[in-house]
Amino acid sequence: MAVIVIVGAQWGDEGKGKIVDVLTEKADCVARYQGGHNAGHTVVINNEKFILHIIPSGILHKGKPCIIGNGVVVDPLSLIEEIEGLKKRGIEVGNNLFLSKNAHLIMPYHSAIEREQEKLKGSKKIGTTGKGIGPAYVDKIARIGMRTGDLLYPEIFKEKLRTNLTHVNLILKSLYKAEGFDLDDVYREYMGYAERLSEYIADTDVILNKMIDEKKNLLFEGAQGTLLDVDHGTYPYVTSSSASAGGACTGLGVSPIKITKVIGIVKAYTTRVGEGPFPTEIKDSLGEKLREKGGEYGATTGRPRRCGWLDIVALRHAVRINGFSGLVITKLDILDGIKKIKICTAYKCDGKKYKEFPKELHLLERCEPVYEEFSGWEENTSGVKKFGNLPKEAQSYIKNIEKMLGVEIQIISSGQKRDEIIMTKELF
């Protein structure tokens, strides 16, 4: 029996979806713990590509229950579309999907407020996905959020909505000079969603803890990554949830003492989408080459991802925050054919050397990377299934990362597909 948390170790898009899909084979249940439909988790099965936004990436395995936890923020229309899209492609979604009663709803005014806030920030904008994620979490913490459980009680739902719209409309109309929302319109819209979603709404903490008592294998899927975590990321250029391992406990209602492993997903280089500091960003044609070869375009917004070298300073921070018991390296194949590969081992700023990830944004923004250079490899590593079959330079790249981080690399991904993987350790 194992309870495994899968966490992005960088700025998201590390390939969490692929790894969760692969590990689901031996799991009894997969649960998402935070974020919303800002996430885009890509899974490729036999040349067919699926992008999951809030449904756990385990859904593509028949008969494995999937849970959307209380820590997730849910846009009901987006969820309905995701369910319908999967069903149309022959994926079973019914009594295998459970949506926490305590998950907060993204309301239409959340994306409206976010749009106005980003506009006002001008050049200081976060570069959000525009899905209303931040304002939905603001309402949750401000104790005025609407939850999926409220959809089951129309009168209570309407009363909460009435109170919220009074102040939301004041903000939108008076402050932002934008359009407000009509109570009856929003109420009717959401009651329509209630009809479609009520069959999934459940006490997910009870379901999960029962499975833990029954010694089942559970997989908890994080969205985004540690450097986008609201507490531990490059604040304020972060998302609004706890993407790191701790978020799995609060976001699912599972005690920390029940977690048996925390696995960090690390892309063999670094990417970031949206604004914010990125010390190892490659701004020349090599960055573009990585973007094209790696298909580094947002799975949710289609925006080009910024690309850079692997950053050990940032990763050591992620190791510390999450206490990774093991690591997965993805997209090693994208580095094939690059003559010299760099790894950032420290930062330099104002003549001072930094080994630890600076907390101050103004400092981090000015940090220059200190690199160690490694020989690349010419061979094609796509689809390699055994560590010993990797070129020796690729083996040494992996071994160096392992040494620098002090955590074992237990899986290496060598392509998009399920079987393009090197499993040096069974996690379940």
Yes or no: say if 247 and 71 are a contact pair by the CB < 8 Å rule. yes
CA pair distance 275, 272, nearest whole angstrom: 8
How near is the Cβ of 364 to ligand GDP at its closest, in Å? Answer: 23
DSSP 259: -
CA pair distance 30, 230, nearest whole angstrom: 23
Q: At what angle do helices 76-88 and 183-197 cross, to 10 degrees?
A: 40
CA pair distance 306, 291, nearest whole angstrom: 8
R_g (Cα) of the chain, nearest Å = 22
Residue 249 binds which entry of ligand IMO, Mg ion, ligand GDP, none, with Cβ cut-offs from 5 to 8 Å by kind? none
- Read off the tokens for 310: 């692997």
How near is the Cβ of 402 to ligand GDP at its closest, in Å? Answer: 17
Residue 127 binds which entry of ligand GDP, Mg ion, ligand IMO, none, with Cβ cut-offs from 5 to 8 Å by kind? ligand IMO
Binding map of ligand GDP across residues 31-70, x = CB under 6 A, - = no contact = ---------xxx-x--------------------------
User: Which of residues 299, 329, 370, 409 is near Mg ion by CB under 5 A?
Assistant: 299
Residue 239 binds which entry of Mg ion, ligand GDP, ligand IMO, none, with Cβ cut-offs from 5 to 8 Å by kind? ligand IMO
* Contact window for Mg ion (CB under 5 A) among 35-43, 63-71, 325-333, 370-378: 35-43
Binding map of ligand IMO across residues 6-35, x = CB under 6 A, - = no contact = --x--xxx---------------------x
Q: How many CA atoms lie within 13 A of 244 on its CB side?
A: 21
How near is the Cβ of 41 to ligand IMO at its closest, in Å? Answer: 6
Does residue 13 carry a catalytic annotation? yes
Q: Catalytic residue among 21, 28, 37, 41, which?
A: 41
Question: Quick one: CA dihedral 328, 334, 340, 346, positive or negative?
Answer: negative
Residue 156 is which amino acid?
I
- For 199, other C-beta atoms within 10 Å of its C-beta total 12
Distances (CA, A) of 317 to 227, 229, 238, 277: 9, 12, 15, 15
User: Which of residues 238, 299, 319, 367 is near ligand GDP by CB under 6 A?
Assistant: 299
User: Which of residues 17, 145, 276, 279 is near ligand GDP by CB under 6 A?
Assistant: 17
- Read off the tokens for 232: 């531990």
Q: Does 318 bind ligand GDP (CB under 6 A)?
A: no
- Read off the tokens for 170: 């004041």
Q: Which is nearer to ligand IMO, 72 or 313 (CB)?
A: 72
Q: Does 338 bind ligand GDP (CB under 6 A)?
A: no
- For 407, other C-beta atoms within 10 Å of its C-beta total 23
Distances (CA, A) of 36 to 126, 130, 409: 17, 11, 29
Q: Does 38 bind ligand IMO (CB under 6 A)?
A: yes
CA pair distance 246, 33, nearest whole angstrom: 10
Residue 44 binds which entry of ligand IMO, ligand GDP, Mg ion, none, with Cβ cut-offs from 5 to 8 Å by kind? ligand GDP
Q: Does 28 bind Mg ion (CB under 5 A)?
A: no
Residue 250 is which amino acid?
T
Taking CB atoms, the residue at the shortest distance from ligand IMO is 274
Q: Does 58 bind ligand IMO (CB under 6 A)?
A: no
Does residue 75 carry a catalytic annotation? no
Binding site for ligand IMO (CB under 6 A): 8, 11-13, 35, 38-41, 126-129, 131, 133-134, 223-225, 228, 239-240, 273-274, 299
- Residues with catalytic function: 13, 41
Please give the residue ranges that form the binding site for Mg ion (CB under 5 A). 13, 40, 299
